Structure 1
């Protein structure tokens, strides 16, 4: 592996990996229960502490949090989640376009629209192939008024409104699981337009052949379109201009790929990368190592712990964390050591997705900054929320971590 200064810089991000004490785990967090010997070794040999990735007044989403971890102050650079996803999908955006995330979700069969319950924000993690058929039906049938929905990945898609106005007040569907949707229907700019689209989508999707097949197979139907995540065309200063490094982002999620592309980084497609527990860990690691052959920096993103948090499934979250330790960090460090080059690793979540909350929170999260060529000043006994807190090391502005990672000495 060759690069400009002979140093490799890696972010390994387990989305939503941090948590609160879980009653089903005898008051421990998934990180405290998980068997993560490589994480623990990194915490003992690196600087470990807590970091704020969500500025005050900002929603605790993966968009704000990952923008922050990548070294961009959200206060200066955040323009919404959906435009980053649009960039990844390849949607051409004009300066006046407004973008929105469109989730294919599962809601209950209650007759009254506003009484329907949000059962699953991911429609049973519907496949992209199935979702594309539903998106095409929505484009053909919904009263979109000249606008268009673009197919993304799995349940995540993008609506582009031409010549619109910002000011919509929409709730993320993963924030209202098991709740009636009536209180959370769109408010603000064009509220009636979006509510009409959401209500009309129910009739279009209810008896769609894709959903009939899913129900017959015992899977959850994608029986409603839910719009949220308003944004405008992103304008990020190139990563190379800010930090003097080239590299890439390895993720299955359009948001992260779009963030990388908007920052001027590579964002390769990895076959079998799903954004779930059963992603292609080895393929993503191989893609990261390939990026490092000719670049300094790679940002590896894994969505599995976050999805488990939304599902409220502690066993799934523990498994997702353990897979990161065994199938990503351990072989990654072996490869880096084999190369003989010095390297820095930043290991962290972007935010917490607590099992008991089933959504994101804004509390500070545990990080490890490991430097192969330096002794730590804030080592921990291992990697968990409590052990990171016990070091007394707190970073109040999360976007500053990137400069710390990239510091060569």
Structure 2
């Protein structure tokens, strides 16, 4: 006799997009099904039943057929009314998110969403208020916290490896093709501010929870944005004006006087081991963490280089660092957070990455844009609805 399944209907809105399809449908929801479901403490397994939602009927039908799925819709109201639906997930463009989530909350569904939670802080706080008042479970994707490299970095911070942390330096980005002689690997709306695009709106939400949860709370922000590539070519081969920032250079002051500098760019070529790397320096040691790897140099093992530009370098600086072992089986970060949210919904397991956490990310992005516009340092106040 097989293990009893406990089905749970999940609307996936925006699943025809790059992230919605690859990370959320294939590598999370379908991966859970491929592995036999998510085991529960009572001996049953939670079995996700995805309902694909989007605007393009042909794309939805093609995706459903490809993966042996039967449930899809182009009508949110109709999908929310289907029996068995318990969770609404949103990975649309940012501007379309608030009305859809509001409708899902009104329908009594639990809500999980990609970030940014909303286009502005006012909207994000309103969604948090509505969700709390409705008594539903709510969450925002904060996938970087589940990456192997950053989980190792957090272990080091929690274990006191660094002594007093002094600074953080982050480098993120890669070259996004303009779309003329090679197809762009990001959708064109990312480069139109009128559609909610911009790297500050996108990445500062990430940097908020990474800094807050792994290093220390963010207390101020300075930022300089740039539109390095002013014209790009869209998915239909038509040129368009890029009105949103494609690079941002931020300085964040954290609790304890820690200074974090993070460069984010879609107009840089990678000369790093990974697409994102953070170096944390402390009085007792330093670490460099990426998506998967994390290397350290302790105070006792720190060499004593001497600056002499007249002689070739004799130190192999990279070889002087030690690799942190995995010591665990790190799975896909998106799937790990999906599993945590599903257990939060059906078993009331802890889940702290809620709409209030998402609102803090929107707050930092909004303040970063303002700091760029006004050319000054801006304090990051506590949010009235924050948990």
TM-score (norm 1): 0.23
Give 1 or 2: higher strand fraction: 2
TM-score (norm 2): 0.24
* Structure having the higher Rg: 2
